[in-house]
Amino acid sequence: MFDVVIIGAGMAGAVLAERFAAHGKKVLVIERRKHVAGNCYDEVDANGILIHKYGPHLFHTDDAQIWEYLSRFTQWHLYFHRVKAVIDGKPVPIPFNFNTLREVFPTSLAEKLEAALLKNFDYGKKVPILELKKSADADLQFLADFVYEKIFLHYSEKQWGLSPEKIDGAVTARVPIFVGRDDRYFSDRFQAMPARGYTRLVENMLDNKNIKLLLNTDFHEVMELRGDFIYLFRKRFKGRLIYPGQLDELFSKKFGTLPYRSIAMKFETVDAENFQAAPVVNYPNNYDFTRITEFKQIHPAQTPRTTILKEFPQEYGAGANEPYYPIFTEEARAAYEKYSAELAKFKNITAVGRLAEYRYYDIDDVVKRALEIFAVLN
């Protein structure tokens, strides 16, 4: 009945389902949750505010192809993301930049540090904090130590349960110092939010007669691997299986459980029109949660109350919470490679996405990856 089966209706699965269906293939999408859009799922809450149930997801890209592709399924409202971090009780802009210098340090010291940054780095460059710590310049060493202690160290320890030195550089590079005055969190050419939310965007992508959607269904209920073969509804399936989920689950954890990091999401209603000075405020120190998001500042709404989300990082436990982030250590990567080698035995299974490929993807990255895979498979 089906040419392609996709396990998961998140962004990767939705892109591939849409592409195969648009080219005449019969596609079955199996989703264990009761909704589409994966961790990008959003909905209007009791306060009339569009919230992201699995934490804030911000769209930004420099790739015109990705922008044009997604624009087929949504209109946009322009949005430039801004984040602050609480340092010594004061919210200041991050990534740490020239504006932050003047809010944290006396003017003379801020100017001295700014001059040192401009002497050693190009204007507009983002310098990873661990790279800055290697500088021989005494002023930059002072700045690196300050930012490392006040923003980077304890936040990373809370987020990952590990010291920063044990985490892959691809993760630590996401917390840079910006050589300039731009307070925007991203500097990409295209920055916006889907006007009616990510859920509606994904629903539009899946709105095709060639796509059948099976919600609230664990793929193990309808599919199994026997030897080197795939069985769907107890019959041999010879088509293409797209798998965006956890590889250890696909192979029944035969090589053990892969480590992930999870987050407890705690939503609160605040009886005020606004709660904080930026859409997201990070709390590197003194609190169990890492950040607070105020969704009204991301999706404007005329309401007397506001909705906030506090994020409490925690260990992942299968069946107990969601696997949000692969843990990027050498040991974890070695464990993943065993499952990757097992996957290679199946010529008709393709793994794609943050969990399946055990790497970090922004939204535009995963869309690009899915489009690249389709170009190879089609």
Task: Mention every residue, 6+ apart, whose C-beta is less than 8 A from residue 314.
Answer: 261, 262, 263, 264, 321
Residue closest to 14 by CA, chosen among 190, 192, 193, 213: 213
- C-alpha angle 48-75-52 in degrees, rounded to nearest 5: 40
Q: In what order do the strands lie in the sheet with 306-315?
A: 90-94, 83-87, 280-282, 291-294, 306-315, 260-270, 325-326
Looking at residue 344, its amino acid is: A
* Whole-angstrom distance, CA of residue 87 vs CA of residue 209: 53
pLDDT of residue 173: 59
Write the single-letter amino acid at 26. Answer: K
**The predicted structure's pLDDT at residue 163:** 76
Confidence band of 330 (pLDDT split at 50, 70, 90): confident
Q: How confident is the model at residue 329 (pLDDT cuts 50, 70, 90)?
A: confident
The mean predicted confidence, pLDDT, of the chain is 94
First-to-last C-alpha distance (Å) of the chain: 18
Two structure tokens written together for 253:
């954890």
* In the predicted structure, residue 275 carries a pLDDT above the cut 90: yes
**Residue 169 clears pLDDT 70, i.e. is over it:** no
* Class of the CATH-defined domain 4-36+206-258+327-377: alpha beta
Q: DSSP letter string over 236-292?
A: EE-SEEEE-S-HHHHTTTTT-PPPEEEEEEEEEEESSS--SSSSEEE--SSSSS-EE
Gap between the Cα atoms of 78 and 223, Å rounded: 42
Angle at 305 between CA 299 and CA 306, to 5 degrees: 45
Q: Is the pLDDT of residue 265 over 70?
A: yes
**What are the tens digits of pLDDT across the range 70-114?**
999 999 999 999 999 999 999 999 999 999 999 999 999 999 999
Predicted confidence (pLDDT) per residue in 30-44, tens digit: 999 999 999 999 999
Neighbours of 346 (CB within 10 A): 16
For 210, phi and psi rounded to 5 degrees? -85, 0
pLDDT value at 168 more than 80:
no
Residues 6+ apart with CB under 8 A from 332: 258, 259, 326, 358
What proportion of the chain, given as a percentage, has pLDDT over 90?
86
Return the pLDDT at 228.
84
CB 38 within 8 A of CB 13: yes
Q: How confident is the model at residue 172 (pLDDT cuts 50, 70, 90)?
A: low
pLDDT for 130 equals: 81
Res 175: pLDDT = 72
pLDDT of residue 170: 62
Cα distance between residue 350 and residue 20, in whole Å: 14
Mean per-residue pLDDT, 24-33: 98
Please enumerate in sequence order all residues whose Cβ is within 8 A of that of 65, keeping only pairs 6 or more positions apart, or say none: 368, 371
* Interacting residues of 48 by C-beta distance below 8 A, sequence separation 6+: 301, 303
* Residue limits of CATH 3.40.50.720 in the chain: 4-36+206-258+327-377
Provide the pLDDT for residue 109: 97
Q: Where is average pLDDT lowest: 9-23, 96-110, 124-138, 274-288?
A: 124-138
CA-CA distance, 94 to 129, in Å (whole number)?
Answer: 13
CA 318 to centroid of chain Cα atoms: 20
Confidence of residue 290 (pLDDT cuts 50, 70, 90): very high
Instruction: For the sheet with 223-226, list strands across it.
Output: 223-226, 229-232, 235-237
Tell me which of 35-39, 160-164, 267-271, 345-349 is least confident: 160-164
How would DSSP label each residue in 204-241?
A: HHT--TTEEEE-S--GGGTEEEETTEEEETTEEE-SEE
Residue 328 in this model has a pLDDT that exceeds 70: yes
Alpha-carbon dihedral 65, 67, 72, 78, rounded to 10 degrees = -160
Chain-centroid distance, C-alpha 266? 18
Residue 156 confidence (pLDDT): 86
d(CA 365, CA 374): 14
According to DSSP, residue 151 is labeled I
Least confident of 172-181, 289-298, 333-342: 172-181
CB 178 within 8 A of CB 100: no
Pairing of strands 211-214, 27-30: parallel
- Model pLDDT for residues 196-255, shown as the tens digit of each residue: 999 999 999 999 999 999 999 999 999 999 888 999 999 999 999 999 999 999 999 999
| Residue 123 or residue 168, greater confidence | 123
